[in-house]
């Protein structure tokens, strides 16, 4: 077995096991930390696929930003001193029925399709250079609009979460 | 080399975990984490196809998805905190103001 395959299985186990625990554990803090492991595993897949820039962005934005925000959310909305941090389930039977149907369709299609692609081709321009060129030429407008959307969303979030003062 | 369907299967399983979390969990913040799981599953598919087609656009789109995910997380958590301040709960079965 070559090293790529060993690393792939390693990241696959990390990702799938921790993703499973995110949705099954009753403790919200444990769910947050398992989500961190999942995000690390996905970053590992990005490195294996040769998308190094996306892997770094994944670590910075998801682990460094969104996950911290989620943990802040947990701490602000749970009575930690009363150890009331457990959380249960809801609509278990209909939910699992829907998920079962959906999973059957998705995995069935995936396994039945024939994928004609054998091995990864080298990207036309090396990762970071290619993305930078596209962002500064073809996708400049989308890039700028995205920046504005992010700014507006953060201002809106701050104004929603603030204490209402009359 | 690792074949493409391996990555797609991992992505599909992550997406299914996310759907389970959204449909069956009670805590709004865990529902949020499940949404992040689903976004990551889609991103993994994008990067896998991008790498196997030798095309950079998939990675570019993942970059955009991450920016939108950051905005979504910020606004969503602000709404959850605001609800918690008013109703002192984040359990989805107790937030039933619009239920008839």
**ipTM of this complex:** 0.90
Q: How many CB pairs under 8 A join A and B?
A: 233
A2 CA: distance to closest CA in chain B (Å): 9
- Per-residue model confidence (pLDDT) at position B44: 94
Q: Around Cβ B58, how many Cβ atoms within 10 Å?
A: 22
Q: Is B40 on the interface with A (CB under 8 A)?
A: yes
Out of A77, A121, A158, name the one closest to residue B90 (CB).
A77
User: At residue A164, does pLDDT exceed 80?
Assistant: no
Answer yes or no: do A95 and B20 touch at CB < 8 A. yes
Asked whether A131 and A52 are in contact (CB, 8 A), the reply is: no
Set of chain A residues whose Cβ sits within 8 Å of the Cβ of B78: 156-158, 160-161
Collect the ranges in chain B with pLDDT lower than 50: none
Q: Which are the contacts of B59, defined by CB distance < 8 A and separation ≥ 6?
A: A51, A53, A54, A127, A130, A131, B46, B47, B50
Which residue segments constitute the domains of chain B, with CATH numbers given? 4-87 (1.10.287.3510)
- Residue A140 — very low, low, confident or very high, per pLDDT cuts 50/70/90? very high
A147 CA: distance to closest CA in chain B (Å): 8
Q: What's the alpha-carbon Rg for chain B, to the nearest Å?
A: 17
Share of chain B above pLDDT 90, in %: 52
- Residue A131 — very low, low, confident or very high, per pLDDT cuts 50/70/90? confident
Enumerate residues 46 to 85 of chain A having a beta carbon within 8 A of any beta carbon in chain B: 46, 48-51, 53-54, 57-58, 61-62, 65-66, 69-70, 72-74, 76-78
Answer yes or no: do B10 and A16 touch at CB < 8 A. yes
- pTM for the complete prediction? 0.89
Length of chain B: 100
For every residue of B18-61, DSSP letters joined together read: HHHHHHHB-BHHHHHHHHHHHHHHHHHHHHHHHHHHT-SHHHHH
Out of B71, B82, B92, name the one closest to residue A150 (CB).
B71
Instruction: Copy the structure tokens of residue A31.
Output: 């769910």
- Cα B52 to Cα A98: distance, rounded to the nearest angstrom: 32
């Amino acid at each position: 077995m070559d090293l790529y395959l060993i690393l792939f299985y390693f990241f696959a186990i990390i990702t799938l096991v921790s993703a499973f625990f995110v949705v099954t554990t009753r403790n919200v803090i444990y769910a947050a930390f398992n989500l961190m492991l999942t995000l690390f595993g996905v970053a590992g897949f990005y490195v294996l696929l040769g998308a190094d820039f996306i892997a770094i962005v994944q670590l910075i934005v998801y682990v460094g930003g969104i996950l911290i925000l989620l943990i802040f959310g947990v701490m602000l909305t749970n009575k930690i001193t009363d150890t009331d941090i457990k959380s249960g389930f809801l609509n278990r039977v209909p939910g699992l029925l829907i998920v079962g149907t959906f999973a059957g369709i998705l995995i069935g299609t995936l396994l039945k399709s024939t994928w004609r692609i054998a091995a990864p081709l080298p990207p036309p321009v090396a990762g970071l250079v290619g993305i930078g060129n596209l962002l500064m030429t073809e996708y400049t407008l989308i890039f700028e609009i995205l920046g504005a959307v992010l700014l507006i969303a953060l201002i809106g979030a701050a104004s929603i979460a603030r204490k209402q003062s009359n | 080399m690792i074949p493409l369907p391996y990555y797609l299967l991992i992505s599909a399983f992550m997406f299914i975990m996310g759907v389970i979390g959204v449909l069956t969990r009670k805590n709004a913040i865990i529902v949020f984490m499940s949404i992040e799981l689903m976004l990551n599953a889609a991103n993994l598919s994008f990067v896998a196809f991008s790498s196997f087609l030798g095309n950079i656009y998939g990675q570019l789109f993942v970059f955009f998805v991450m920016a939108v995910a950051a905005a979504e997380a910020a606004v969503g958590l602000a709404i959850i905190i605001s609800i918690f301040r008013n109703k002192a709960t984040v359990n989805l079965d107790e937030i039933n103001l619009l239920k008839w």
